[in-house]
Chain A
Amino acid sequence: MTQLTHLHRLEAESIHILREVAAEAEKPVMLYSVGKDSAVMLHLAKKAFYPSTPPFPLMHVDTTWKFKAMYELREKAALDAGMELIVHQNPEAKEKGINPFDHGSVHTDMWKTEGLKQALNIHGFDAAFGGARRDEEKSRAKERVFSFRGENHRWDPKSQRPELWNLYNSRKSKNESIRVFPISNWTELDIWQYIHLENIEIVPLYMSEKRPTVMRDGMLLMVDDERFPLNDGEKPEMKSIRFRTLGCYPLTGAVESAATTLPEIIQEMLLTTTSERQGRAIDHDQAASMEKKKQEGYF
C-alpha cells in the first residue's frame, strides 16, 4: 500500500472536516483573515469541493487597521475563488473611532471580539471555519476541531465534546454556534511547506522588502499609511523587513530579514528561535491570556 506523506494526510483530513461541515451545518461561513493560515484554509476549501465553488461565503471581520496589501489580496482571493466576500466592521467601533494607538486592548475587544460576535449573529451563521492551529499556543493544543460556543460565544474548556476517530458531532442547540478548525493539526512549518508546494498566493508582506519603519517599545513597526502618528523625533527609516504574522499594522512587529523567497522564509523560520505569536502584541500580558480571550469569545 502506498504510504501517504504527512502533508497528504493533513490535506485529506482537512478536506474531510470541511466537507462534514458543508454537509451538516445549516449556514456555514469561512472566516478569512488574509493571513497565511487563511490562505491555506481557503486553498483546501477549493480542493474539497472542486469542481464546485465552496458552498459558503468568506467573511472578513475587519478592524480598518489592516495592512493595505492585505486588503488588496482579500479582494483578489475572493474573486479568484468565485466566493462571496462579506466584510464586517463593528459600527460602534467605527463611530467611536477606536484605534490601536489610543485605545490599547479595547481595540482588539471591540473590532475583533465584538465584531466577530456581531457578524455571526447578523448573518445567522451556525458554523464558522477558522484557521487556528494547535501548535500556536498551549491552550489551543486542547481545543477540539469542532468547538462549541454558547449564546454569548463563550468557550468552556471543561465541557468540550470528545472527538473520536474522524467522527464529528455537529449537532447543536438553538443558541449555540460552532467554530471549526480544519487545520488544527498543521504546524507552522507544514503551512509554509504547503504554500510552497501548492504555489498558494500570500500577502507579499511575508517576503522581505525595503519598507518604511519605526522602532517603538521594542517592536519594529511599519508605517503603512498616513494614519500612523509619529512621535517626536521618530522618523520612518527604510529597512529590509518582513512579517511572520499579519494583523493590524500598528500592532504587528516586523523582523529584519533578507528572505525574499519562500524557501528562504522557511529557512529563516527554522533557524530562528522566536515563536510566531511574539510578533503580536496581544499575548504578552500573562501566561493564560489567550485562554481568557477565548472564553470571552475571541476567536
Chain B
Amino acid sequence: MNDPIYKTEDLIAKDIDAYLELHRHKSMLRFITCGSVDDGKSTLIGRLLYDSKMIFEDQLETLEYDSKKVGTQGQEIDFALLVDGLAAEREQGITIDVAYRFFATEKRKYIVADTPGHEQYTRNMVTGASTADLAIILIDARKAILTQTRRHSYLAHLIGIKNIVLAVNKMDLIDYNQAQYDKIVSDYSEFAQQIGIKNFTPIPLSGLKGDNIASKSDAMPWYDGVSLIDHLDDLQISSETNQSSDFRMAVQWVNRPNLDFRGFSGQIAKGTIVAGDAVRILPSGKTTIIDKIITMDGDLEVAHKGQSVTITLRDEIDCSRGDVIVAAHNPPEVADRFESTLVWMAEEAMMPGRAYQMKIGTQLVSAIVQSPKYQINVNSHEHMAAKTLELNNIGVCEISTDKRITFEPYSDNRAMGGFILIDRITNATVAAGMIHFALRRSQNVHWQAIDIDRKAHAALKNQKPRTLWFTGLSGSGKSTIANLVEKKLHALGKHSYLLDGDNVRHGLNKDLGFTDADRIENIRRISEVANLMTDAGLIILTAFISPFRAEREMARNLMQDGEFIEIHVNTPLEIAEQRDVKGLYKKARSGELKNFTGIDSPYEAPENAEITVDTTTMSAEEAADTIVNYVLG
C-alpha cells in the first residue's frame, strides 16, 4: 500500500516524537455507513480498516482462513468478515446491531458506526446516526435508487446529519461506466431535494477493489472529485455554527468535597464560558456569575462546547442535577408540552396516555405521549393516520411532562432537544425523540366548563345570539349590506360585531394566501372566532366570499340550532364584474391575480340559505331591512 495518506509509517520509524505530536493534534470525525450487505457496506469498512493498517497480522491470518472457509470472494480476502462481529450474524451473513469501528489517517481519527440497512433495523440506524457528523449512503452501482436508499437518506436527514456522501459502490461491476453513475447521481439529487437535503457529495468507488477509497482511481479518469478519504479528511465539520452559541450546560453532578467547595459538573452542550460571565440557572431562572472553571489540570480561562468541566458560582443558589446553567441573556425555553418526532424502538407498541420516563440531558421526568398526529412512512415519507407507533415506526406526537423542562428545538441543539423514553416497568429504552417546539399556553389549556354560559351572556344583552353569514362573489355587495344591517341593529340597542373579510386578512389571517387550502383555513378561523363571539352573546356579521359549501357547513355545525343564518348575496358574475369596485376582476382577467373566485376559482352557491338577497331587484337599504326583520322576528 503506497497511498500517500499512509506514509506516516516512515515517520513512525524515523521520528516517533514527531509522529506523536502529529497524532495528538488530530481532530475526530464520527460517521455512519448506511446500506445493506448487498451494497458492500461491510466490505467498504473492512477496506478502510485494511488500508489504514488497522488490521494486525494475526487478525489477517484469521481473516484469510475465514475468507476461504465462509467468505463470498472465492480465494480473495472477504473484507466483510473483518467487521461482521457476532457469531449469530456471521452465520446469517447480516449485521444486526450497531458496531463501532476505528481508524485513523494522517489528519483525523475516525469512529464509524456500522449499522444494518433493513427496515426492521431502523432503530439501529437511528442509534448510530445520533452521534454521527456525517453519513455515507451506499448504493450498488448496478441498481437504481432503491426504497432503502430513500429510507437511509430520510433517517440521516431526520437525525440532523448535515454532511452526506453518496457512495456509488461496485463501480468495477459496471466497468466504471460514467453514464450509469451520472444517472444515479441525478436521480438521487432530485430525490434529495424533495426531502430537504440541501447538498451531498457523490463519489464513485469500489470497496472491493479499492477504487477512489484512499486515492483517486485510474479506472475513472472522468471523475473530477476527490477520493473518499480525502473528502473525509478535508471536510469542515459544520457543527451548529449558524445557531446562536450561547452557553448551555446541564448539571450532571454536584461536586462537594467539603463544606467550603460547591462545584457543578457537566459537559458543555453549546457555546463558550469565561469566568465572570453572567449565567442563569433553569428552570428556576435565578442569575449569578461564573466564579471559576475548574479542572484537575488547573483552572481554565475559557471552556468550549464538548468539554467536561466543573464550574463554581459566585452566589450560593439552588442548583442540582437536572438544572441547566445557561448564558444569562437569551435563555432557552422552559415548558411542559411539546410537539416532537418519535422513533419507536420497542417490540411493545406505544401506549398513548401512558406515563413513560423521559430523559433529556440530565433531566429525568414523567411524560405522557398523545396519539400520533401522524405517522411517517419511512420509505415514501408520506404522512399517515395512526393511533399508535410500533417498533421502527416514526411519528409526530404531542408530549406533556409532569415538570417543566429546559430544552431547545432539536434542529438548533441536538444535546438539548433529543430525548429518550424509558418504560417504567421493563426499564427498556422504548423511543428516541426530537423536540420541534413547545406548544403554546393556549393549547396548553383544557376546555373548561364555564358557569356563565351562552344563554347567560345573551340574556344580559337582552338578545338572541346570531351569526349572520354573508356569502357571495367579490363585489356582490356583502360588506355594504352587512354594514347597513349593523348600523340598524346598533340603533336598536343590539350588541353586534362585524367581521369583514379584508380586515381579518390584515390581522388574524395575514399569514394566509388564496390557495384552496388557505381559503379553507381562512374560513375555519373565522368560524371559530364567530362561534366564540356568538357564545359571548353577540350578533355577529361576517362578510366573506366563503366560496365553498363544506366550510360554510362547518361553521354552521359549530353553532347552536337557529343561530347560524346564511345570507346569500346573489349578484350575477357579469354585474359584479361591471361594478368592480376594487378593480380586482380586471386584474384577475389579465392574469395578474390568481385563484379569483368566479374567474379561475369556483364559487359554490348556497342551496338552502336562510335569506337570499337579489341585488338586481333590491336596493341595499331594502335588503338590510329584510335581514333585520328576520333576525329580530
Contacts and interface: CB of A to CB of B under 8 A. Distances in A.
Interface of A: 1-12, 15-16, 19-20, 22-23, 46-53, 134-135, 138-139, 141-142, 157-158, 160-167, 169, 171-173, 176, 184-185, 187, 189-190, 193, 196-197, 263-264, 266-267, 270-276, 278, 287-288, 291
A20 B252 contact: yes
B308 A12 contact: yes
Nearest to B101: A141
Contact of B20 (A22, A157, A193, A273): A193
Given A19-B252, A162-B123, A163-B127, A6 B28 contact: yes
Contacts of A271: 9, 12-13
5 contacts: A1-B245, A142-B86, A160-B97, A190-B109, A263-B17
Contacts of A4: 27-28, 304, 306-307
A138 B109 CA distance: 19
Contacts, number: 208
A260 B99 CA distance: 35
A142 B307 CA distance: 26
Contact of A50 (B245, B295, B360): B295
Nearest to A291: B87
Interface in B237-262: 237, 239, 241, 245, 252-253, 255-257, 261
Contacts of A20: 252, 362
B13 A267 contact: yes
B305 A53 contact: no
B420 interface: yes
B219 interface: no
B612 interface: no
Interface stretch (B57-65, B164-172, B180-188, B585-593): B57-65
A200 to B, nearest CB: 12
A267 B19 CA distance: 9
Given A12-B306, A169-B420, A171-B422, A52 B20 contact: no
Chain B interface helix/strand/loop/mixed:
mixed
A135 B26 CA distance: 18
Given A5-B27, A263-B17, A288-B87, A185 B58 contact: no
Given A266-B16, A275-B59, A138 B307 contact: no
A172 B131 CA distance: 24
Interface string B561-597: 0000000000000000000000000000000000000
Nearest to B320: A23
Q: Which 8 A-B pairs have the closest CB atoms?
A: A275-B56, A273-B57, A6-B28, A15-B308, A138-B85, A50-B296, A288-B87, A52-B257
B154 interface: no
Given A5-B24, A6-B28, A15-B308, A165 B13 contact: no
Contacts of B16: 263-264, 266-267
Contacts of A275: 56-59
A142 B102 contact: no
A6 B422 contact: no
A19 B308 contact: yes
A196 B20 contact: yes
